[in-house]
Amino acid sequence: MKKPAPIFKFMATLMVAMLFCLNVWCKGKFTLYLHHYVKDKIVQFDTLNYMNELGQSYIITKFKYYIGNISFISKNGINTISKDYFLINEEDSQSKILNFNNIPAGSYTGIQFTLGVDSIDNCSGAQSGALDPANGMFWAWNTGYIFLKLEGKSPHSSSTGNMLEYHIGGYKSPYNCIRQIRLNFNLQSDFKEDKEIHLKVDIAEILKNKQVIDFSKISSVTDFHNATLIADNYVDMFSVLSIK
């Protein structure tokens, strides 16, 4: 039998390598964009008046939170992209753009991540990077992290100066405010090249779903009192805007 010409052997080997790369080894970039809204409006600090579900007006002056353990969901299970923590801060536009390299090619049906800081890192004292106390998200008196900080003002607030102040944290039962966020893609998305995922983060959900927040009754949450109520609400503030 006549042996295959070297060029054909080379091409066949190359094709196998390319297919293997596409299915197993090929890796690309993934960028996660977080867009902060109040209902259908892009959030604006200090100037724009919003209404809660009770018709109580308010403005927002601060909004920041921790996410971590970002993973993709596939039919075969969970593929962890990063175990790091990221501090998302409306006042820092770059913090709302997260870049990841070396993402394995695959077909993914959703994304999941944690909102909060897990018990190990809460018990490790003050740390560096996103967990640096200089970021204003560490309770020195409680030696733990604030998972989400939402501040503003409302004429309906019962607090001094009409302040709204929701500093949510805590990892111990029954006051655990760590929440797992899981978002499904409308269509299975093939990651064989660089991808962008845009998420909508609706601040209004923190104040209405599952429990409507009445500013005249709950205008400040800075310890375990009512913290899990707010945490149960912020689970619903994320949704997928687009995948590109």
Domain count, the chain: 1
Residue ranges making up the domain that contains 147: 29-243
Q: What is the pLDDT of residue 19?
A: 47
Helix (H) or strand (E) holding 17: helix 6-20
In a domain, 80, yes or no: yes
Region 84-112: mean pLDDT is 94
- The reply to whether 13 falls in a domain is no
Q: Is the pLDDT of residue 3 over 80?
A: no
| CA 200 to centroid of chain Cα atoms | 10
DSSP secondary structure string for all residues of 178-203: -EEEEEEEEEEEEESS-EEEEEEEEG
Cα(226)–Cα(218) distance, integer angstroms: 8
Q: Is the pLDDT of residue 7 over 70?
A: no
Q: Is the pLDDT of residue 165 over 60?
A: yes
pLDDT at 142: 64
The answer to whether residue 20 is domain-embedded is no
Q: What is the pLDDT of residue 182?
A: 97
Whether the per-residue pLDDT at 4 is higher than 80: the answer is: no
Range 193-201 average pLDDT: 92
Q: What is the pLDDT of residues 20-76, one digit of tens each?
A: 444 444 577 899 999 999 999 999 999 889 999 999 999 999 999 999 999 999 888
In this prediction, residues 13-22 reach a mean pLDDT of 49
Specify if 43 maps to a domain. yes
**Does the pLDDT of residue 15 top 80, yes or no?**
no
Nearest CA to 51 out of 189, 152, 177 is that of 152
User: Does a structural domain hold residue 198?
Assistant: yes
Asked if residue 15 is part of any domain, the answer here is no
pLDDT surpasses 60 at 102: yes
pLDDT for res 22: 45
* Residue 12 included in any domain: no
Residue-wise pLDDT for 73-95, tens only, equals 988 889 999 999 999 999 999 99
Domain presence at residue 111: yes
Q: Higher pLDDT residue, 12 or 159?
A: 159
Read off the pLDDT of each residue in 143-171 and give the average, rounded to a whole number. 95
Q: Given this model, what pLDDT does residue 21 score?
A: 47
Amino acid at position 56, single letter: Q
